Amino acid sequence: MSSTAAHTPSSSRAYQFYQLTKPRVVSLIVFTAIIGMFLAVPGMVPLAPFIAGTIGIALVAGAAAAINCLVEQKIDAVMARTRARPLPRGQLTSMQTLVFAGVVGGVGMWVLYQWVNALTMWLTLATFVGYAVIYTVILKPLTPQNIVIGGASGAMPPVLGWAAMTGEVTIEALTLFLIIFAWTPPHFWALALYRREEYAKAGVPMLPVTHGEKFTRLNLLLYTFILLACSLLPFVVKLSGLIYLVSALALGIGFLVYAVRIYRDYSDQLARRTFRYSIVYLTALFAALLIDHYIRIVL
């Protein structure tokens, strides 16, 4: 550890632990979980389980992110977008990270069990294992389908939010799961395309590394069609109305335009824009679900 890291003020040390939780990723996870909570009830959500559910899911998600940082610290040190994380820079040790993840995750699980319900706790634990162990330890270093299979854990937050409010998992919750599950491959493959050399250097078998750029572009396009179809399911099962349907079509066609352009006339700059749009897409899509939900209640 460098002398700078060794003499880090406590406030900076707290920030380093905070960075382990991948706050930007966790914020999207929590956002979709909260939307799941609001959609699960006909009116306003009950305050106590809402607050406890949000805190518990956020803590366990942060713990899973910390385990991911722990396992992938050597890979992170190679890649430009991750080399500034605390572990590659020697600001935190592996033991500190492990203890932090255990404490944060344990508190999150306790909050969910104590103030939400047992189903949400067990589903959240399964999501933690799916991301921190099955995806990070097993799938990511072994198969180019890591994003597709591992996407199941990333698609769980709205289901967790739904279960937190209702104590069950219904077909409506599963449509939200399918949207994020279908969104994950084109989202990450856009990133992997313009970061393919870094993934190759790190020895990570992402699809552009193992099967080439052209094959990845085709798969990104095909999955975007699947995503567009999945995004219409909330309307099909009557979870949403016309406002969401129009929004889903507009956002989905926008994503499809990016995917077609990547397939026909690829550039790294276009892949970067597609990756950024994919985040805007998912945020706007779930926001449209929420707006549609409450307008239908009012009307």
The rounded distance, in Å, linking the Cα atoms of 80 and 275 is 16
Residue 264, Cβ density class (10 Å: 0-12 exposed, 13-18 middle, ≥19 buried): exposed
Residue 266, Cβ density class (10 Å: 0-12 exposed, 13-18 middle, ≥19 buried): middle
Task: Please say whether the beta carbons of 192 and 199 come within 8 A.
Answer: yes
Segments of 100-158 assigned E as strands: none
- For residue 3, what pLDDT is reported? 40
- For residue 79, what pLDDT is reported? 86
Q: Evaluate if residue 4 carries a pLDDT over 50.
A: no
Q: Evaluate if residue 29 carries a pLDDT over 50.
A: yes
Average pLDDT of the chain is: 93
Q: What is the pLDDT of residues 207-262, one digit of tens each?
A: 999 999 999 999 999 999 999 999 999 999 999 999 999 999 999 999 999 999 99
* Residue environment code for 1-13, b if the CB has 16+ CB neighbours within 10 A, otherwise e: eeeeeeebeeeee
The token pair that represents 159 in the structure block: 């289901």
- For residue 9, what pLDDT is reported? 45
Q: What is the pLDDT of residues 254-288, one digit of tens each?
A: 999 999 999 999 999 999 999 999 999 999 999 99
The DSSP line for 2-71 is -HHHHT--HHHHHHHHHHHT-HHHHHHHHHHHHHHHHHHSSSSPPHHHHHHHHHHHHHHHHHHHHHHHHH
Question: Binning pLDDT at 50, 70 and 90, where does residue 2 land?
Answer: very low
Q: What is the pLDDT of residues 120-142, one digit of tens each?
A: 999 999 999 999 999 999 998 89
Question: Binning pLDDT at 50, 70 and 90, where does residue 10 land?
Answer: very low
- For residue 229, what pLDDT is reported? 98
The rounded distance, in Å, linking the Cα atoms of 168 and 173 is 9
The rounded distance, in Å, linking the Cα atoms of 68 and 96 is 14
- CA 215 to chain CA mean position, Å: 24
Q: Evaluate if residue 7 carries a pLDDT over 80.
A: no
Question: Binning pLDDT at 50, 70 and 90, where does residue 170 land?
Answer: very high
Kindly state the average pLDDT of the residues 22-38: 96
- For residue 222, what pLDDT is reported? 98
Between these two residues, 6 and 172, which has the higher pLDDT value?
172
- CA 178 to chain CA mean position, Å: 13
- For residue 12, what pLDDT is reported? 87
The rounded distance, in Å, linking the Cα atoms of 5 and 98 is 18
Q: What is the pLDDT of residues 65-110, one digit of tens each?
A: 999 999 999 998 988 888 889 999 999 999 999 999 999 999 999 9
Q: Evaluate if residue 6 carries a pLDDT over 80.
A: no
Q: Kindly give the interhelix angle for 47-71 and 157-166, rounded to the nearest 10 degrees.
A: 150
* Distances in whole angstroms, Cα of residue 19 to Cα of each of 66, 86, 142, 294: 9, 7, 27, 35
- For residue 13, what pLDDT is reported? 87
- For residue 8, what pLDDT is reported? 45
How many C-beta atoms surround the C-beta of residue 99 within 10 A? 12
What's the predicted TM-score (pTM) here? 0.92
